Structure 1
Amino acid sequence: MTETTAEDLREDYLARLDEAMRGLPHGVAADIRGGIAEELQGLDASSVAARIAQLGDPVAIAREAQDETPAAPPFVVAAPIPAPEAPRPPTTSTRGFALTAALTLSFGGIVVPVVGWFVGAVLVVLSPLWRTWEKVVAIVVPFSVFLLTAILITTMQGFSVATATGSSSGTGTPPPIANPLLPAWYDFIWFGVIALGFVLIPASGLWLLWRLRGRAVR
């Protein structure tokens, strides 16, 4: 019959202890196993058997250790904090507002004469999608051309009337009487200015639309 050695007794007891302490925290189980292994180290078979009898059943050791181990606090998964919503850009910064402004500048004066154009100019100024110089070109240039041409025609018309009045009051040959049914020379210029406005003002708004292409919303 094979005699059981001290090493066999020690390894068997430690194996049963490991199995019993499987549910304990790793640090607690390692400390208990290390302490018992140290106590059994270097003893002969009879001494190991006596010490094992004093230590008792590994299941009882594991249960006692479990009772003395403080319960771990429950693991709480924190609810994810929702990311703050990005602030919506103001209405004047949207592409839709810019499109409305350019189209109003182009054709608002046709729908509502004069007032419609001024409304479109204000909308264009409020939109940040165009640079300052682009707004100046689209608003000031057509307005300046129309205004300067109107001043020039008015001045020439007044000069022509004054010349005709001076000639009629002299002693020379009286000027020919103008036919009211036929337009005067300055009437043709006025028609040209109106036609220029019908071309230049819509073109300015369409030019803004062309400048807007591919431009990112701020």
Structure 2
Amino acid sequence: MAGLTADTLREKYLIRLDEAMRGLPHGVATDIRAGILEELHGLDADATAARIARLGDPAAIAREAQAELPAGGSVPVAAPVPRPSEPRPAATSTRGFAIATALVLSFGGIVVPVVGWFVGAVLVSLSSMWKTGEKVVAIVVPFVVGGLSILAISTMVTVSAGESSGSSSGTGTPPSVNNPLIPAWYDLIWMGVWGIGVLLIPLSGLWLLWRLRGRAAR
């Protein structure tokens, strides 16, 4: 062993020891190896060689360890600890819940007026499959567009009625005549409600379904 460093001597001895202890249970072999490695740690080359000589042949160490094992050559092994099952994802984070809520938002108001849409809006707000901005667009935008449409139509009707009144001829104030071609104010409201409930809200729910494509549960 002359000329060998302490690290080389230690590694060579541990390799022989590992080879000799192949037939031992893993826990026993690991404990023996760790004890011998601790004895050899920090020694110089001469001290390492002397300690290895006192430890003796690795095969003899393995035979002694085998003889001390209980009958049958096995040692008690602790039962494996069962791994905790992974928690199931919340119902509001599933793709199925998101699809159902988008359909309720689209057509719930048609099946059960007002209440159905309100339920759909609440369910959409609970789902984690859409971003907050997408939820706001789907719930709020139909009413904003519908309100602006009612305002624009009413403005056009008012302007048209004023022009019709100003173009009348003769003296005095002509009697007001209801033009059947010009919708009344309540007609405008019903037109706006119909546009929101039958067209815009279903489109908003279908838009949410389109945004859902390719997304996984969060």
Calculate the TM-score normalised by the size of structure 1. Answer: 0.54
- Name the CA distance, whole Å, in 1 between partners of 2:205 and 2:102: 5
Q: Which amino acid aligns with 2:195?
A: L
Alignment of 1:1-218 (within 5 A): 27=60, 72=70, 75-150=75-150, 172-178=172-178, 182=180, 184-186=182-184, 189-190=188-189, 192-197=191-196, 198-218=198-218
- The residue matched to 1:200 in structure 2 has which SS? helix
**Would the aligned equivalents of 1:153 and 1:190 in 2 still touch at CA under 8 Å?**
no
**Would the aligned equivalents of 2:150 and 2:188 in 1 still touch at CA under 8 Å?**
no
Q: Which runs of 5+ in 1 are unaligned?
A: 1-25, 32-68, 162-170
- The residue matched to 2:136 in structure 1 has which SS? helix
> For the structure 1 residues 28 and 188, does the alpha-carbon distance in structure 2 shift closer, same or farther, using more than 3 Å as the test?
closer
- Name the CA distance, whole Å, in 1 between partners of 2:195 and 2:121: 18
- Name the CA distance, whole Å, in 2 between partners of 1:203 and 1:87: 35
**Would the aligned equivalents of 1:106 and 1:203 in 2 still touch at CA under 8 Å?**
yes
- Name the CA distance, whole Å, in 1 between partners of 2:61 and 2:139: 83
Q: CA deviation at 1:100?
A: 1.3
Q: Which amino acid aligns with 1:209?
A: L
Q: Which amino acid aligns with 1:84?
A: P
- The residue matched to 1:77 in structure 2 has which SS? coil
Q: Which runs of 5+ in 2 are unaligned?
A: 1-58, 162-170
Deviations 1:147-205 (A, max 9, x none): 344466678889999xxxxxxxxx923324437xx574246644542442211110110
- Name the CA distance, whole Å, in 1 between partners of 2:182 and 2:156: 12
- Name the CA distance, whole Å, in 2 between partners of 1:126 and 1:156: 40
Q: Which amino acid aligns with 1:119?
A: V
Question: Which one has a bigger Cα radius of gyration?
Answer: 1
- The residue matched to 1:104 in structure 2 has which SS? helix
Calculate the TM-score normalised by the size of structure 2. Answer: 0.54
Q: Which amino acid aligns with 1:193?
A: G
Q: CA deviation at 1:109?
A: 0.8
Moved more, 125-134 or 74-83: 74-83
> For the structure 1 residues 139 and 27, does the alpha-carbon distance in structure 2 shift closer, same or farther, using more than 3 Å as the test?
same
Q: CA deviation at 1:28?
A: 7.9
Deviations 1:18-40 (A, max 9, x none): xxxxxxxx748978xxxxxxxxx
- Name the CA distance, whole Å, in 2 between partners of 1:30 and 1:92: 62
Partner of 2:42: none
**Equivalenced residues, count:** 148
